[in-house]
């Protein structure tokens, strides 16, 4: 399973890439604004120059024609760009056309196996079930991830499953067990995955013992 960062914060992306475990980014206009950017294109190109892997960038148009126009323009910003398109009638129409133009699409706001199946049939490269949001309304978000992975495997779809709306490290464990190809996570969850109190204690004890062995304790 690969890990992406769900952010537009350049410092966080640099840190994640430096750790050697982040291979992509998912972002949208809200995250770009939150990170202090005022130019969407500049933000995306800066992210692409750092991560050098798939960077999902969301369109804002609500009509199929507008989505396609936006997608074609954004796809020229970098070879790493993937276009995030919401699951809806207009989105399906747009992704069906764009996939035939070899523009990679990530189906966003996916909340059911039906929606994921439609995205795969439309030629999407990725589908992103929103785990945390499903959990919030009493549904089994990670159960949906497992269903989608099983369905895609059964029928040989090449579409990859991105576990999105990840809230905590246990979600990452569950995503891996469910067979998700990718989990896209906030930077805070990444740091939680790295740290463990027993590791911290173990390092402290090791340093203390090494100082004693060197006659410094």
Residues with catalytic function = 84
Cβ neighbors of 132 (< 8 A, separation 6 or more) are 141, 165, 166, 167, 171
Q: Are strands 105-110 and 182-185 parallel, antiparallel or unpaired?
A: unpaired
3 state SS of 44: helix
Q: What DSSP string runs through 150-208?
A: HHHHHHT--PEEEEBS--SHHHHHHHHHHT-SEEEE-HHHHHHHH--HHHHHHHHHHHH
Return d(Cα 153, Cα 74) in angstroms, integer. 31
Q: Are strands 105-110 and 160-163 parallel, antiparallel or unpaired?
A: unpaired
3 state SS of 29: helix
């Amino acid at each position: 399973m690969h890990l992406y960062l769900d952010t537009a914060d350049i410092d966080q992306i640099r840190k994640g890439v430096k750790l050697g475990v982040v291979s992509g980014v998912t972002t949208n206009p809200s995250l770009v604004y939150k990170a202090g950017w005022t130019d969407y294109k500049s933000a995306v190109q800066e992210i692409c120059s750092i991560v050098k892997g798939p960077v999902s960038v969301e369109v804002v148009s609500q009509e199929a024609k507008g989505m396609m126009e936006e997608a074609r323009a954004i796809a020229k910003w970098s070879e790493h760009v993937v276009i995030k398109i919401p699951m809806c009638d207009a989105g399906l129409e747009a992704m069906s056309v764009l996939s035939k133009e070899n523009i990679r699409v990530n189906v966003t706001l996916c909340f059911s196996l039906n929606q994921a199946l439609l995205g795969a049939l439309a030629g999407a490269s990725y589908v992103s079930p929103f785990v945390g949001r499903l959990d919030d309304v009493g549904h089994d978000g990670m159960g949906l991830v497992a269903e989608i992975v099983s369905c895609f495997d059964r029928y040989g779809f090449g579409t990859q499953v991105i576990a999105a709306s990840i809230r905590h490290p246990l979600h990452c464990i569950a995503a891996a067990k469910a067979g998700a190809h990718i989990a896209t996570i906030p930077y805070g969850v990444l740091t939680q995955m790295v740290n463990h109190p027993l590791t911290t204690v173990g390092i402290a004890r090791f340093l203390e013992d090494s100082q004693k062995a060197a006659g410094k304790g």
